[in-house]
Amino acid sequence: MTRLEALVSLNIIGDIGSVRLKKLLDYFGKPQDILKAPVEKLMAVGIGGKLTQSIRALKKEDLDKEFKASRKLGLEILSYEDKDYPENLKNIPGAPIVLYVKGNFVQQDKYSLGIVGSRRASFYGLSSAEKFAADLSSLGFTIVSGMARGIDTAAHKGALKMRGRTIAVMGSGFNRIYPAENRELSEEIAQNGAVISEFPLDTQPFKQNFPRRNRVISGLSLGVLVVEAAQNSGALITADFALEQGREVFALPGKVDSGTSFGTNNLIKQGAKLVSNLEDIIEELEIPIKDRTESKQALTEQKAEVRDSVEPLKNLAGEERALYNIISPQPISLDDIIDKLNLDVSKIATLLLRLQMRRLIKELPGKQFVKYQSSRI
């Protein structure tokens, strides 16, 4: 049995974190010797009876099955001793013993930023997460998140939209992709970064797994941006881990009467960096990911793109202008549009299509419409 196989075996057993593993290795020397140790020696090191039984009960067939299934899924298994194991993560207390990886890590991933937030996010939160992720990707950052519904999904999609790198950290095994509707997204992420998990393949997305996942998100990152978070949101756990690990914590302010802004606003009161634009993050990190002049130039170019996008508005008139004026950055339903305009439904449908073709508005699920963020009137 190789050293990697022994470490994967110990990870399959569970309840052996990096702290306990270090204690065992100090006593036994090699992970292979831990698996072969008699019960009395394991007990002598302070390993409880239940865990001792689990170590002794592990079968070689269990290990072979895990490796075979991993190869079939196209996964690489890294231990914390591998040279390809992420540098940022390796340096945190309680780093995962092993990582199952679909995709790959590159040197650029040293410059990663976590973006996390509510699963039940508002349109404001979703659009902000996607925009910050896209802008940071354009400057060379790798975006790290948890592939959950809401803010996490928006962050990954923002990075992918710019063809940037993104890393998804799962709270389940690869045989239990969660949420199931993000399976296709996970494949796209793996092609443009990595999907990773410290959990054995068949691990279900149990509630207790997600704080462990959150420490990996912050551990991979130089800082964490919390976009939206309710009072007891898991995103706040990620922020706590970030502070413990010496990472920067950023928070996007929200409406004081919004439940999903309570956590972020409270983080700001406690000293998190308030973020209103990309420069707030760049200035705080002060890292050589790209020259500051390049960063500012990129921001200038983005502003120029916004100015260019305003040109089509000059040609709006009559019914098109009336329709455009009742659509805002907040979603409005087709029924509400019909109520506000004294026009035939077929005419409204034609006008909506024209505005969409000119990239002035976009349609959301459920026949709702919003202005593009870059549009100004």
**Same domain for 136 and 277?**
yes
pLDDT band per the 50, 70, 90 thresholds, residue 135? very high
331 prior amide bond cis, ω within 30? no
CATH number at residue 318: 1.10.10.10
Do 51 and 138 fall into the same domain?
Answer: no
Asked if residue 16 is part of any domain, the answer here is yes
Say which residue, 45 or 296, is predicted with more confidence: 45
| CATH number of residue 157's parent domain | 3.40.50.450
Q: Domain of 127? A: 102-290
- What is the reported pLDDT for 313? 58
| Range from 94-98, 248-252, 319-323 carrying the lowest mean pLDDT | 319-323
Q: Are residues 50 and 106 in the same domain?
A: no
Q: Around Cβ 96, how many Cβ atoms within 10 Å?
A: 27
Other CB atoms closer than 10 Å to residue 347's CB: what's the count?
Answer: 12
- The model's pLDDT over 35-84, given as tens digits with 9 standing for 90+, comes to 888 888 888 877 777 888 888 888 889 899 999 999 999 999 999 999 99
Name every residue whose Cβ is closer than 8 Å to that of residue 300 and which is 6 or more positions away in sequence: none
**332-333 and 368-371 strand pairing:** antiparallel
pTM for the structure as a whole: 0.76
Residue 255 inside a domain? The answer is yes
Query: Which positions ≥6 away from 22 have C-beta within 8 Å?
Result: none
Q: Which of 206, 201, 14, 220 has its CA nearest to residue 109?
A: 220
Is it the case that residue 310 has pLDDT exceeding 70? no
Whether the CB-CB separation of 260 and 223 falls below 8 Å is answered with: no
Residue 322 maps to a domain: yes
- Residue 232: both structure tokens together: 């007891």
pLDDT in tens, 144-201: 999 999 999 999 999 999 999 999 999 999 999 999 999 999 999 999 999 999 999 9
Task: Based on the fold, state whether residues 282 and 177 are members of the same structural domain.
Answer: yes
One domain, residues 278 and 168: yes
Same domain, 269 and 355: no
* Residue 89: inside a domain: no
Contact between 340 and 326 (Cβ < 8 Å): yes
Residue showing tokens 């990697």: 4
Within a domain: residue 303? no
Cα-based torsion angle of the residue sequence 186, 160, 166, 153 in order, rounded to the nearest 10 degrees: -60
- Sole residue written with tokens 């914590």: 249
Inside any domain, residue 296: no
**Residue 296 predicted with pLDDT over 60:** no
- What distance in Å separates the CA atoms of residue 354 and residue 170, rounded to the nearest whole number? 41
Q: The tokens 């992918």 sit on which residue?
A: 160
Percent helix / strand / coil, the chain, rounded to 5: 55, 15, 35
**Predicted confidence (pLDDT) at residue 295 exceeds the cutoff of 60:** no
Assess whether 275 and 327 both reside in one domain. Answer: no
Tokens of residue 177, six digits: 């992709």
Together in a domain, 203 and 334? no
Q: Phi and psi of 319, rounded to 5°? A: -65, -35
Exposed, middle or buried by CB within 10 Å (0-12, 13-18, 19+), for 76?
Answer: middle
Residues 283 and 318 in one domain: no
Q: What's the pLDDT tens digit per position in 256-283?
A: 888 888 899 999 999 999 999 988 998 8
Q: For the chain, how many structural domains are there in total? A: 3
Average pLDDT over residues 338-352: 86
Does residue 45 fall inside a structural domain? yes
Tokens of 173: 């095994």
Share of the chain above pLDDT 70, in %: 91
Q: Does 158 lie in the same domain as 36?
A: no
State yes or no: pLDDT of 213 exceeds 70. yes
Contact 114, 218 (CB under 8 A): yes
Query: Is position 354 within any domain?
Result: yes
Task: Examine the domain organization and report whether 56 and 111 are in the same domain.
Answer: no
Q: Is 318 left (phi over 0), alpha (psi -120 to 50) or beta?
A: left
Angle at 170 between CA 166 and CA 171, to 5 degrees: 155
Question: Residues 219, 345: one domain?
Answer: no
Confidence check: pLDDT of 19 > 80: no
